[in-house]
Structure 1
Amino acid sequence: MRILLAATAVALTAALTAPVASALPDVQPAGTVTAPPDGPAPSWLVADLDSGKILGSRDPTGVHAPASTIKPLLAMVVLDHLNPNAVARANVSHTQVECSCVGLVPGQAYTTTQLLAGLLMVSGNDAANMLADMLGGQQVAVAAMNAKAQALGARSTHASSPSGLDGPGWETLTTPYDLALIYRQALKYPLIAKIFQSPTASFPGKDGTPKTLTAQNELLARYPGDFAGKTGYTDLARKTFVTAAARNGRRLLVVLMYGSGDLYGQATDLFDWGFAQPA
């Protein structure tokens, strides 16, 4: 699919909140000189984080599995219902999950904030399970995630697990457009934004001995101005990545889905292209 020029790109923006047709054209806004760069993720968009204006896209409403990039949807639900300082103890069921994991220890106490750091920085599926239990169980948490998505206008999003993992007969689905909606809202939560921009964080280890979490988003260190990012991978989703960066008072959001190869490089190219466009 080639990238099409479109003087009517504004029809895709509406602050990323209006209902979207099932097949939107790939867009380049009027006034741009060069087309946005392509890359190994075939379904993507780059947008102004504050206005919601889509600067460029390819297959922005293509439906794919998001893998762990859906985790900020759970994080918002958690902060809508739980005190960040609430404390609970992990149990064995929380750790019985396909990893990546933050390394919960059954019997160890954790705060909501610590679990959110494990969820967003290192994609802890065990942390997702425990947060879901704190909300009332996985079914309750997933229902709340889907209700939150609908309230945000992310109408092509369907969560089936707190973590983004898929299984026989159930899968989590969304689109680049919907993920942009979700991340625009998630980054308005001060705690989520703080965790995303933290390169490291302290986390209780075995016997309560602190250990250090290191953010998986490599662009925090590699791309000047990057302040948020979430990676994901499953066999169904392939590689997924959502990230945000700021430069000269502008903030851009890049969403990449169903990828292979170097998604960090593709995100960097899209940021450079986006920041070069007229404000």
Structure 2
Amino acid sequence: MSEPMSSLPLSRRYRAFAVLSALLLALTVPGVARADTAAPPPEGPAQAWLVADLDSGQILAARDPYASHAPASTIKVLLALVALDELPLDATVVADAADSHAECNCVGIKAGQVYTTHDLLEGALLESGNDAANTLAHMLGGREAAVEKMNAKAAALGATGTHTASPSGLDAPGMDMRSTPHDLAVIFRAALANPVFAEITRQPAADFPGRVLHNQNELMYRYPGVIGGKTGFTDIARKTYVAAAERDGKRLVVVMMYGLVHEGGPTYWDQAASLFDWGFANDGQVTVGSL
């Protein structure tokens, strides 16, 4: 039988209290799970995040990986998957005024101009053009049809916590726009398996009718080994991001959602780079889930 706490010597009671306090403190830290490594994964602006092995699908660490947040423009990855499933890359469309009049980010779609599927994929993925996303939706049968196909694709991939109400990721109060770090990793993993998507998302620039597009994934220029990514921001979603990087044959995916950047604190890019560094230093022998 164990001794009652009151009968223990003072020094032993103090040690027991200290151990119990430490355990209780650990249990109160919200939502963080990580593999057993010497250093904890870095925190930063994102309120929910995940780092996983892109090839095995094993999750190495996460904070609230199933928390639901608005995805903003990261949902364009899902739109791209649907377009790649259904549209030939050289299929063309004449843009109309409704497609071009989008709340920007915009790539400058002009009513009456002819665009290919490939043009529009580059516009949506590299510069997050909402007008390009709208025009892709036009090619897929219109906004409602495109959204329905996007939600069906998410369900087919097992991204059951994802629902979109717009092809671009633009949201508004009352719109059912949601995803999770887990689901965005699942969607991005599927997208990178498509060689056309993989080629587009890793290129720094691309020719577009009337101009040159530049990749807005700033981590490409800051972190060696980045092989693709997608940024996002709305007032509701805050900052969102999904990206993949490769080092010494190991490929990782990082997702960050609901980023609250504070002046003087770490940036979103700082946190993404730190999560990749942590993941590459992890031996992958202990995991906390799977995609």
* Secondary structure, aligned partner of 2:52: strand
Indicate which of 71, 74, 77 corresponds to 2:76.
71
1:225 aligned onto 2:231 = no
Q: Which residue of 2 aligns with 1:17?
A: none
Q: Which residue of 2 aligns with 1:251?
A: 251
Show structure 1 runs of 5+ residues with no match: 5-23, 206-210
Q: Is the 8 A contact 1:3 1:26 kept in 2?
A: no
Instruction: Give, as a single letter, the amino acid of the residue that structure 2 aligns with 1:162.
Output: P
Q: Normalising by structure 2, what TM-score?
A: 0.85
* Secondary structure, aligned partner of 1:55: strand
Cα deviations across residues 81-102 of structure 1 (Å, max 9, x unaligned)?
Answer: 1001101111110112110011
* Secondary structure, aligned partner of 2:278: helix
* Secondary structure, aligned partner of 1:163: coil
Residue 168 (structure 1) shift: 4.3
* Secondary structure, aligned partner of 1:88: strand
Bigger relative CO (Cα 8 Å, ≥ 6 apart): 2
Partner Cα distance (1:116, 1:159) in 2:
18
Partner Cα distance (1:3, 1:127) in 2:
46
Residue 221 (structure 1) shift: 1.3
Q: Is the 8 A contact 2:172 2:236 kept in 1?
A: no
Partner Cα distance (2:184, 2:78) in 1:
9
Q: Is the 8 A contact 1:3 1:27 kept in 2?
A: no
Indicate which of 204, 207, 214 corresponds to 2:209.
204
Q: Which residue of 2 aligns with 1:29?
A: 35
* Secondary structure, aligned partner of 2:243: strand
Q: Is the 8 A contact 1:74 1:162 kept in 2?
A: yes
Cα deviations across residues 200-252 of structure 1 (Å, max 9, x unaligned)?
Answer: 000002xxxxx110000011111000011111000000011111100000000
Identity of aligned residues (%): 57
Residue 26 (structure 1) shift: 2.6
Show structure 2 runs of 5+ residues with no match: 1-24, 262-266, 285-291
* Secondary structure, aligned partner of 1:143: helix
Q: Which residue of 1 aligns with 2:281?
A: 276
Indicate which of 108, 113, 119 corresponds to 2:118.
113
* Secondary structure, aligned partner of 2:199: helix
Q: Normalising by structure 1, what TM-score?
A: 0.88
Q: Which residue of 2 aligns with 1:176?
A: 181
Q: Which residue of 2 aligns with 1:11?
A: none
Q: Is the 8 A contact 1:165 1:171 kept in 2?
A: no
Partner Cα distance (2:234, 2:67) in 1:
17
Partner Cα distance (2:26, 2:224) in 1:
27
Partner Cα distance (2:31, 2:100) in 1:
43
Partner Cα distance (2:173, 2:275) in 1:
35
* Secondary structure, aligned partner of 2:177: coil
Aligned residues: 253
Cα deviations across residues 27-84 of structure 1 (Å, max 9, x unaligned)?
Answer: 1113x11111111101000000111110111011110001001101000000111001
Q: Is the 8 A contact 2:252 2:279 kept in 1?
A: yes
The CA RMSD measured in Å over matched residues stands at: 1.4
